[in-house]
Structure 1
């Protein structure tokens, strides 16, 4: 067979075409099925819009204008994508071990509260030190919270999906208790919050953009996560354990350490998202931290097939959809929660599409191998 370059067939002679088709078949399934699921979800959502007496074409046009139709809209979408990148990693990293962790919302709110408390405690120190301490505090809070989910799964066989969801609810209640109690700023009357951060401790925007540096942090986190999973022995061990835990244990892999380590890292990313929301957007910790980014991150991760690099464009897409909610409300007299209906339909269809992998012969490389 001809030599290959970057994994793809270099020549396409009589024997090269089957090799090329085999190469495409190995990779096409991961792209085609999510895209088809996305289209089906949008068709179902169009039927819902027709049922409430509105035009799907007008709605999608409005959604495009609100999320991607201008430079202002694009920047708004990128700002909303920033926490989604980190929230999606909270789902994608444990998924490589076969775990379904959906409690990233809890890690986000606790990360935000911990960062706000650290910022207040270290007020007066140099800005670089305070921002660094806030980041460490947010990551530690989120990492401990989701790492506990992994520990419960491995050592006590507690289902991680249920425990992470329940712990998210506990985290939101704990956040409310802290913000309305010992950490409350006496000046925050109508909307309880922590002490506001001084301007020098706030994270600003990237040059030439109205998008805070959290976007760059999220992109770097996705790239580093891909390197961890695909290029390191820990990532290889995680993939082995995710495929067959018993086989991994027979091979001597420390499955418990992998589970707790990957869930802890996943929670740390979500906690960092909460810190960025406080330091770059809100300026303090309050009820707005529970904005649903953790739950939207689930959809982002599943649509990206838990691939950290694919999370980047998918987060931008979902961020744009989320950003268009206000314009949809004003232009079409629909509630801004309409986009949540779309996200819900997409999530259901994507979950259903998980059952379709491996069922189509066109995506089976063996079909093209036999044709040589």
Structure 2
């Protein structure tokens, strides 16, 4: 009778399903995927019930939502186009969250960024297109950055709650935009909808070759990757996360918390300002009230669903962009209002907020 001795190297490799401690060791990472996914699924179920009350088949609802978002190449392009500003506005909420700040003023930074970019383009009408585009991007980022920086400064130096101040600044930004667009910056030819003069077809940033998706998507992807590197792979990002975890401890070890707050708020606002520039230079061609499309508010939902992770913002923004893109198809095929997707977004937001209490409370994922 012979006995086989197992190879020690093979014995050391244990499949995750056979490792009783795998779930406990990786519980936090699993939670970050499982809980938001469950919240999203529950919101879809509730939305289906809501639609069924109006005599519509929930199965048809889910089918047309998929078709309108990801079912065809045209749907994909529409989804990616809508995801581009969502990535940038989500970063406006995700980056300050690393410091424990709840900034929800991305919509205002987007509007100010769009207005700044348009003003720059109109100020240098005879410059080469590339120079104009770079100047527009710089102006949009500076305008949006300074707008969110104002919320951070009010928090740091006057003790004003940043959530309230950033939200109120959205309405101030909208008032400034309407005042200028309907006043000194108005194009006399824009009769029905007041608008600024066009920036010129030569100054538009165009689309990615072979697609109808504008270059704003690439800007968003670069910004998300750069933000991830900044937060998780630099000493600045480490200091920001330390201050976000315990601001008193950060001050004790000598970190300049005020400088961190102002810098992160400026970077966050510049992302939303860049989104405003992209909407002007790739979609609208001018500044008008159409820019207040709610991208800043949807970006908050993207940031919460992604748990403020800059890389996770990308797939979540694509998902939410797809939901927005499906609104037109739902209206044509099921007779639902185009704004019904806003109801779904509201339900998702409620479930995401409610699911926050589940982190660290799922039994089989808790460390022993």
TM-score (norm: length of structure 1):
0.93
**Aligned partner of 1:194 among 193, 196, 201:** 196
1:339 aligns with: 341
Please give the secondary structure, in 2, of the residue aligned with 1:90.
helix
1:3-42 to 2 correspondences below 5 Å: 11-12=13-14, 17-18=19-20, 20-42=22-44
The CA distance in 2 between the partners of 1:75 and 1:33, in whole Å, is 29
2:362 aligns with: 360
Offset of 1:98 from its aligned partner?
0.7
1:279-290 to 2 correspondences below 5 Å: 279-290=281-292
Q: 2:86 aligned with 1:59, yes or no? A: no
- Residues 21 and 351 of structure 1: CA distance in aligned 2, closer, same or farther (over 3 Å): closer
Q: 2:201 aligned with 1:184, yes or no? A: no
Runs of 5+ unmatched residues, structure 2: 1-11
**Aligned partner of 2:82 among 77, 80, 83:** 80
1:93 aligns with: 95
Offset of 1:198 from its aligned partner?
1.3
CA contact (8 A) 1:180 1:193 kept: yes
Q: Give me the CA root mean square deviation.
A: 1.4
Offset of 1:362 from its aligned partner?
2.0
**Aligned partner of 2:268 among 266, 269, 289:** 266
The CA distance in 1 between the partners of 2:365 and 2:107, in whole Å, is 36
Offset of 1:78 from its aligned partner?
0.2
Offset of 1:107 from its aligned partner?
0.5
Offset of 1:21 from its aligned partner?
3.6
Offset of 1:200 from its aligned partner?
1.3
Offset of 1:79 from its aligned partner?
0.2
CA contact (8 A) 1:278 1:284 kept: yes
Q: Deviations over 1:169-207 (max 9, x none)?
A: 110111111111111111111111111011111011001
**Aligned partner of 1:213 among 208, 212, 215:** 215
Offset of 1:68 from its aligned partner?
0.7
CA contact (8 A) 1:114 1:141 kept: yes
Offset of 1:51 from its aligned partner?
1.6
1:69 aligns with: 71
Runs of 5+ unmatched residues, structure 1: 1-9, 368-372
TM-score (norm: length of structure 2):
0.94
Q: Deviations over 1:70-109 (max 9, x none)?
A: 0000000000000000000000000111111111000001
CA contact (8 A) 1:12 1:20 kept: no
1:133-144 to 2 correspondences below 5 Å: 133-144=135-146
Runs of 4+ in 1 over 4 A off after TM superposition: none
The CA distance in 2 between the partners of 1:25 and 1:335, in whole Å, is 41
1:131 aligns with: 133
1:246-265 to 2 correspondences below 5 Å: 246-265=248-267
Please give the secondary structure, in 2, of the residue aligned with 1:308.
coil
The CA distance in 2 between the partners of 1:90 and 1:99, in whole Å, is 11
Q: Deviations over 1:9-60 (max 9, x none)?
A: x82289x935544443231011111001111111111121112221111111
The CA distance in 1 between the partners of 2:242 and 2:283, in whole Å, is 39
Q: 2:122 aligned with 1:120, yes or no? A: yes
The CA distance in 1 between the partners of 2:326 and 2:355, in whole Å, is 26
